[in-house]
């Protein structure tokens, strides 16, 4: 049996999980390909207890040195970060003719096209299943399983931290701050959670998936991103009373005009599978022609799922996987023509804090009517007067189709009315077919 010698850089939670699989499950991993051997490792702290003995594995102080070593055939990058040593080490490995496996979504979202070109030039594989949706094989499903299809749309939940927080707010009635603390205690959220809750993590994953799906070089930072920080317990409750649940959605849509990408909180009908995906799970819908709708769901993060996805890429290498890094070779990637969703018709949820005075609801309806926005449904939960600037009353409504530009203009006018307290909250409604 042939041998595939593996070097792993980064021995954090995921890296330790990868090392454990490679050391303890050799026979299982090698049953349909080459024998996978952990030949070298690199991390910042050699003395740290990682729960597994690596005394027989060669230690490299510098990951770039490991990446260029003749003792390995494939370099596994689990350091993280868009640039810096992770990027340098991956480039070094490819230039030395090594295959690369990575879970680094930030690096791929920023430098994916250039790294793909280098890998293809050197006739090396660059695999990254663990970079999107943890243990769910959505990359392989889109890149290989749907390779004969035209992909029209991707949509779903790509960040387990946000999904956990919103689930706890919905199911347990906890506040945003309380749910975030729970997520941090469980290891779902970092001490500084801004990257997750601000939508950046989901946006990077969407950029990678969209590059595969649409054969276009799509980079993170080129499309609108909104996080969940402004979603309140009142929004969660109001959405439930109106028949919806709030989720952080990542959406990519292909059309004749170009590609529309966006990440933002959205109301989803409570009986839809996306709305029912709870906890830290991810859920992705891929709409294709002629295959139809594909769905991928499961654990989107954590030691076990992510390590399993990394090792699955190693098994694929041992079986001789080849082809472009994305769905098309890097030279064939089109320039992405990104179009705005601001003028695309949609339904919206609007929450308005009010002074408890006569004519307030009529004033809201009149302002919306002036913008040709009609109301589909409306509720007015009882709110106790707080006496500290918080609303005496509250109105939550769902509009018929309008545009984001129009609903924003209407909300701005409502905010300036004498009966309004604070800026209205606007959340898009995503109507899945």
Residues annotated as catalytic (active site), given as ranges: 205
Q: Select from 416, 321, 324 the least CA-distant residue to 363.
A: 416
CA 103 vs. chain centroid, Å, equals: 13
Cα–Cα distance list, 3 to 30, 36, 73, 321 (Å): 9, 6, 9, 15
Sequence-separated (6 or more) residues with CB below 8 Å from residue 430:
155, 249, 251, 266, 267, 268, 346
Q: Select from 335, 339, 333 the least CA-distant residue to 258.
A: 339
Cα distance between residue 236 and residue 432, in whole Å: 20
Residue 190: both structure tokens together: 């970092």
Q: Select from 270, 219, 273 the least CA-distant residue to 110.
A: 219
Provide the Cα torsion 282, 288, 291, 294; round to 10°: 10
Three-state secondary-structure class, residue 23: helix
Sequence-separated (6 or more) residues with CB below 8 Å from residue 240:
170, 270
- Asked if residues 228 and 212 have their Cβ atoms less than 8 Å apart, the reply is no
- From edge to edge, which strands make up the β-sheet containing 258-269? 292-299, 281-289, 150-157, 244-255, 258-269, 425-429, 347-354, 393-399, 375-379
Looking up tokens 């109105």, which residue turns up? 395
Cα distance between residue 35 and residue 284, in whole Å: 33
- DSSP type of residue 385: -
Provide the residue count of the chain. 433
Residue 348: both structure tokens together: 């919206």
């Amino acid at each position: 049996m042939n041998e595939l010698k593996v070097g792993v850089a980064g021995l954090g939670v995921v890296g330790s999980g990868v090392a454990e699989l490679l050391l303890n499950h050799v026979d299982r991993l090698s049953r349909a390909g080459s024998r996978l051997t952990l030949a070298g490792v690199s991390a910042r702290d050699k003395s740290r207890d990682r729960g597994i003995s690596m005394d027989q594995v060669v230690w490299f102080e510098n990951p770039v040195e490991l990446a260029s070593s003749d003792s390995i055939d494939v370099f596994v990058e689990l350091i993280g970060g868009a640039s810096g040593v992770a990027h340098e080490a991956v480039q070094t490995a490819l230039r030395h003719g090594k295959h690369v496996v990575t879970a680094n979504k930030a690096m791929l979202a920023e430098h994916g096209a250039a790294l793909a070109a280098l890998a293809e030039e050197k006739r090396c594989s660059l695999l990254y299943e663990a970079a999107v949706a943890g243990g769910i094989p959505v990359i392989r499903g889109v890149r290989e399983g749907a390779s004969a299809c035209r992909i029209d749309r991707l949509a779903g939940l790509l960040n387990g931290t946000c999904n956990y927080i919103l689930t706890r707010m919905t199911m347990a009635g906890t506040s945003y701050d309380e749910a975030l603390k729970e997520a941090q205690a469980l290891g779902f959220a970092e001490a500084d959670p801004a990257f997750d809750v601000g939508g950046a993590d989901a946006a990077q994953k969407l950029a990678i998936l969209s590059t595969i799906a649409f054969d276009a070089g799509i980079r993170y930072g080129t499309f609108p991103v909104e996080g969940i920080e402004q979603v309140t317990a009142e929004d969660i409750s109001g959405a439930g009373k109106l028949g919806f649940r709030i989720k952080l959605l990542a959406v990519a849509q292909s059309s004749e005009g170009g590609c529309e990408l966006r990440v933002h909180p959205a109301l989803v009908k409570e009986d839809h599978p996306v709305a029912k995906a709870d906890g830290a799970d991810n859920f992705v819908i891929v709409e294709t022609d002629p295959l139809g709708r594909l769905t991928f769901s499961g654990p989107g993060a954590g030691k076990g799922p992510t390590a399993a996805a990394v090792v699955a890429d190693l098994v694929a290498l041992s079986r001789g996987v080849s082809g472009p890094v994305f769905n098309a070779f890097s030279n064939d990637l089109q320039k992405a023509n990104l179009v705005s969703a601001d003028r695309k018709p949609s339904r919206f949820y609007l929450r308005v804090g009010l002074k408890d005075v006569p004519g307030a609801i009529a004033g809201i309806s009149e302002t919306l009517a002036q913008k040709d926005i009609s109301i589909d449904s409306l509720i007015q939960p009882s709110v106790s007067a707080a006496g500290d600037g918080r609303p005496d009353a509250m109105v939550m409504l769902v509009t018929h189709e309008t545009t984001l530009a129009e609903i924003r203009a209407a909300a701005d006018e409502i905010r300036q009315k004498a009966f309004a307290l604070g800026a209205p909250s606007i959340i898009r409604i995503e109507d899945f077919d």
